[in-house]
Every structure is written in structure tokens, then in C-alpha cells.
Structure 1
Amino acid sequence: MPKILIISDSHGWKMELMNLIERHRDEVDFIIHCGDSELEVGARELEGAKVVRGNCDWGSEFPEEVTVNVSKETVLYATHGHHYNVKMTYVPLSYRAEEVGAQIVCFGHSHVAITFMENGVIYINPGSIRLPRNRKEQTYCLCTIDQSKAVDVTFYSLEGKIVEDLSKKYIL
């Protein structure tokens, strides 16, 4: 039963990011940072995380995208989203998800916490732990996939409290 910690747009925060990751490190199988960490490759705060390059990660050696087999049947794709115009539409991102065969797509860039399912693919933007848009909570999320392919996407405030109105359950 894979469990994934998904974070984005921490914009240079080190202590807050490290505290959040340490809070969940022992309960998750994967840590994904969807870009704009503004940290360097190998930064202690990102230890163990799969990190993509955001538009504010200048000169970064992080990859533009990451694909992870989170289970035998489930592929997770992560990108920041700025190359896919995610502030305006999700269509280009959906094309890329189809190209890589992803069932779960994680992205950031807009700082808007959201999850939705379209054409059998679950999309997750964890929001921003530093500069949220459209709501006051600074957010991240945990995604759990069980053996029956039930997917639980639970959003949390930076302090670790569940944000119920954002959280959703899906079946892959």
C-alpha cells in the first residue's frame, strides 16, 4: 500500500520544509517535491525526495520531470507545470500524462491546492507551503493507494491539520 508525500512551491523555506518531511518520513514510501524549492540538488532539506525543477529554480540541475512506479500497476508523473500552462488549462499536462502512461500526475506552479480525476487519471497540486493562492492554508498532501486501487488524497495545513474540503477519494 504505497503512501506518497507531495509538496510544492516551498520557495526557499528550509526549516519548514525539513520539519514537514521529517513529520512524515517514516510513514511514506515516496517523497515528491513538485518544484520551486529554490534549493540546490543535494540540499539536506530535500534528502530522500524526488524533486523536479520549477521556474524559480534558476541554474538548477533538478530534472524537468520525474516518473515513478509507485506500484506494479501505478505510474506517478511529476512536473512543476510551468511548461504545460497549468495556470490556464490542464489539457497539455493531460497529453503528457497520456504519453508517459501515468495514473497519477503531481504538479505545482499555480500555488492552488486542488485534486481532480479526468479520463482515469488523478491530478494533484498540493498547493504551496509558503505562498498559497485562493485560500489561507499553506498546504501539502499525502496520497495513499490500497490493493483495491482506492486512492486517498488528503491535504494538510503546514501545521499538520487535515484540510477536509480539499481531500478526496478515488478509484483507479
Structure 2
Amino acid sequence: MKYLVISDTHTDLNNAINIIEQWKEAIIGVIHLGDHDEDAEILQKQYPNLIFHYVAGNCDVGTNPQEKIIILGEYKIWLLHGHRYQIQWGYDGLYYAAQEKNVQVVLVGHTHIPCILEDDGVLIMNPGSIVQPRHEKGPSYGMLGLEKDGRLKKEIYFIKS
């Protein structure tokens, strides 16, 4: 069981479509962490055999939720864009909120900078942006899945230009 994790597509779906095409036989679904959540709705129509989870970001005006909790194996996963926790200044507040919500994994976007952080039993993963990166390695996305033994596997990938 593996999810493609993307964020901050900002209406440019070319990279998202290419990535889904590349991985569609290996993933069960797509998680979109906002900033143009309507992009996730478009992708969901284009790929009806995949599971889609998505939340709204600070650039979204629709009715999609700003936060969502899903379950993957034994893990509670909190999906959010992150702007309401001011993560551009750090992830400390998000760690505390995750502990209060009793989640083991937080998937967050907003900064356009990919990272995987772990502290005190909480994993935070930011896939970066697949179209507007704010770092030198270029556009990025994440993969989150379960190993055969139930352990969590998390990876960041960079799109080669």
C-alpha cells in the first residue's frame, strides 16, 4: 500500500500527471495537500481507479476541508496544508498539535520545501512542490506506504528536468 503525496500544484498538472502515470501500477492513491485542491478533483476524475484524499490550502476557496485524518495500517495520518500553523517558521507547533491529536504522521505542504522529520514518535513529511520549488533541488513529491512488516516507508523524490 503506497500513496503518492503532492502539494502546491497551483493549477499546473503536467508534472502530477507524469508522476501518476509513472507510478499508477505501484500506488493505491494520491494525497494532495492543498493549494489548488481543485487540481486534485481534476486528477480524481482522470484516475477513477485511484483513491484520492485532499485538503484545502491558503490559496483555495472551495468547500473542501482544511484538515483530514486518514488511517494507513496502524498509523493515524493528519493531512493539512500547514499555513495555519505558520510552518514557514518551523515545525514545533505542528509537533505539539500532532501529539494533542494523537496522530503518528503529519503530511503537510505550504513551504514548497521538501523534508522528512521525526521527533518523539511523530513523523512530519512535506513533499515540497511539484511545480514551484523554493529550494535548489527542483520540483519534488513524496511517497508514503507500508512495508510488508507494517513499518512505514517514506521517501522524497525529485523531478529531473
TM range (shorter): 0.7 to 0.9
C-alpha contact (below 8 Å) 1:41/1:62 kept by paired residues: no
Match of 1:156? 157
117 and 16 in structure 1: CA distance in 2 versus 1, 3 angstrom threshold? same
- CA apart distance, 1:134: 2.0
Match of 1:164? none
Looking at structure 2, the residues matched to 33 and 100 of structure 1 have their Cα atoms a distance apart, in angstroms, of: 21
Residue identity opposite 1:52 in structure 2: V
Q: TM-score, normalised by structure 2?
A: 0.86
Count of paired positions: 156
SS in structure 1 of the partner of residue 89 of structure 2: coil
Does residue 49 in structure 1 map to residue 52 in structure 2? Answer: yes
Q: Could you say which structure has the higher helix fraction?
A: 2
C-alpha contact (below 8 Å) 2:11/2:39 kept by paired residues: no
Looking at structure 1, the residues matched to 100 and 138 of structure 2 have their Cα atoms a distance apart, in angstroms, of: 33
Looking at structure 2, the residues matched to 16 and 138 of structure 1 have their Cα atoms a distance apart, in angstroms, of: 9
Does residue 104 in structure 1 map to residue 78 in structure 2? Answer: no
13 and 38 in structure 1: CA distance in 2 versus 1, 3 angstrom threshold? farther
- Aligned positions of 1:1-172 closer than 5 A: 2-37=1-36, 39=38, 42-43=41-42, 45-47=43-45, 48-57=51-60, 59-71=61-73, 73-159=74-160
CA root-mean-square deviation: 2.1
Looking at structure 1, the residues matched to 128 and 72 of structure 2 have their Cα atoms a distance apart, in angstroms, of: 21
152 and 38 in structure 1: CA distance in 2 versus 1, 3 angstrom threshold? closer
Match of 1:168? none
Residue identity opposite 1:28 in structure 2: I
SS in structure 2 of the partner of residue 76 of structure 1: strand
Looking at structure 2, the residues matched to 129 and 143 of structure 1 have their Cα atoms a distance apart, in angstroms, of: 16
Residue identity opposite 2:113 in structure 1: V
Unmatched 5+ residue regions in structure 2? 46-50
